[in-house]
Amino acid sequence: MPVECPNLEILSLNGSRVSNLNLGLTPLLWCLDVEECYNLQEIQASVGCLKKLACLNLNRDSVVKKHLKSPGFDFLAMLKVNAECVDDCPLHPHNNLPKFQFECFYDEHLTLSSGNLEKLISFGLCACTNLESFSASICGLQRLGKLTLEGDIREAPKDLCQLQSLEELTLSMKKINRLPDSICRLKHLKSLELKSCFLLEQLPEDLGRLECLEKLYLLDCISLPDIPNSVCEMKCLKYLHLPYCVLVENLPVEVGRLKCLKELNIQGTGINRLPDSIIELKGLCIIWSTGRLESYGFTSLKKLSKYTASCYV
């Protein structure tokens, strides 16, 4: 915008040939539509200038939507990103960078002025993606409490430890094969969910450093062979779910140290024996597949049921 537009709230440039857009002079803008603006390569937006922006519609291959929470909600922000591979970029057909179609949903508190949205629009304009810049954009978000990454990207952001307010992390990345060690430094993380990470081959050895973790869900991680022993150091862990991690055949032998554990799901795994130490977990609910769980080595299933609240088959 060449001059200040202090009252502009809705700007629709759908289908135009605009290539660069400066939004530094539109403080009240809450809806921006630049769908099918195939020549658009840059949106300039200094941190804090888009405090009112609630909906940003980019092009047919990417969309960022921001939902403002009412004052009664928590002050932490939430981001969900889905990335799917595409064959080419209409702006840069000969670029060798990976190409993705992005869909982003971002929630923040009304009073939160962290400039997060300005950082997010940087990877939504064209399909070409520098993964290092993508990682930096994600890890630079302030006061992010919940992060969900889905789709075809092969790597999780390497510097996740910068997200010191993060409490919930969900990864459903079907091409990822390992997690960055920086995950272990998320000292406030309470929930870690890995869903359909089909190529994931290992978890960080120091995963037990997540001392506040309450939920560890590993669903359909069909290439994961084992669970690191350090998991037994998670003093707050309440839910350990490993459904259909078919290569996992053993639990850590010191699983009995998880005194807060309420629910253990080993349905569809290769586990047919439980460690002796599990008898120390009073009130534990165990979920497993019919016919897969054999004798425990220390007791019969009948005896174990005296110590557990319930055993689901």
For the record, the structure tokens of 168 come out as: 């919930």
Looking at the fold, whether 72 and 154 belong to one and the same domain comes out as yes
Check pLDDT > 70 for residue 77. Answer: yes
Separation in Å, CA 281 to CA 55, 258, 262, 269, 307: 49, 7, 8, 21, 8
pLDDT at 299: 42
Are residues 161 and 238 located together in one domain of the fold?
no
The pLDDT, as a whole number, for residue 179 is 95
Q: Are residues 211 and 101 in the same domain?
A: no
Q: Is the pLDDT of residue 2 over 80?
A: no
Residue 172 lies in a domain: no
Would 70 be classed as within a structural domain? Answer: yes
Whether 275 and 129 map to the same domain: the answer is no
pLDDT value at position 175? Answer: 95
- Tell me the C-alpha distance between 72 and 53, whole Å: 20
The tokens for 5 are: 């537009």
Task: Return the SS3 of 99.
Answer: strand
Q: Which two tokens stand for residue 99?
A: 């190409």
How confident is the model at residue 122, as a pLDDT? 61
Does residue 145 have a pLDDT over 90?
yes
pLDDT of residue 163: 95
Considering the domain architecture, whether residues 10 and 70 belong to the same structural domain is answered as: yes
C-beta separation of 192 from 204 below 8 A: no
Q: What is the pTM of this model?
A: 0.82
Indicate the average pLDDT of the chain. 83
64-78, 103-117, 143-157: segment of lowest average pLDDT: 64-78
Do 105 and 16 belong together in one domain?
A: yes
Q: Which residues does 206 contact at the CB level (< 8 Å), separation at least 6?
A: 181, 184, 228, 230
At residue 296, the pLDDT reads 42
pLDDT for res 301: 45
Residue 176 vs residue 300, higher pLDDT = 176
Same domain, yes or no: 32 and 149: yes
Residues 161 and 219 in one domain: no
Domain count, the chain: 2
Range of 254's domain? 203-313
Look up the CATH number of the domain holding residue 259.
3.80.10.10
Least confident of 38-42, 131-135, 165-169, 295-299: 295-299
* Domain presence at residue 266: yes
The reply to whether 292 and 149 lie within a common domain is no
Kindly state the helix (H) or strand (E) to which residue 191 belongs, with its residue range: strand 191-195
Statement: residue 159 has pLDDT above 90: yes
Residue 173 lies in a domain: no
Residue 191 domain flag = no
Phi, psi at 131, each rounded to 5°: -65, -30
Across 45-54, 68-77, 90-99, least confident range: 68-77
- Helix and strand totals (H; E) in the chain: 3, 16
Same domain, 5 and 143: yes
- The answer to whether residue 224 sits within a structural domain is yes
Is residue 190 included in any domain, yes or no? no
Looking at the chain, the whole-number percentage of residues with pLDDT higher than 90 is: 47
User: Residue 135: left if φ>0, alpha if ψ -120 to 50, beta else—which one?
Assistant: alpha
C-alpha pair distances (Å), 89 with each of 123, 299, 313: 13, 61, 50
On whether both 4 and 85 belong to a single domain, the answer is yes
Q: Based on the number of CB atoms within 10 Å of its own CB, is 132 exposed (0-12), middle (13-18) or buried (19 or more)? A: exposed
Pairwise CA distance, residues 133 & 214, whole Å: 31
CB 34 within 8 A of CB 63: no
Task: Name the nearest CA neighbour of 140 among 168, 162, 109.
Answer: 162
- Does residue 287 lie within any of the structural domains? yes
Domain boundary among 148, 166, 184: 166
| Closest to 118 in 3D by CA, of 153, 71, 66 | 66
Same domain, 123 and 46: yes
Which contiguous run of DSSP H or E holds residue 80? strand 77-85
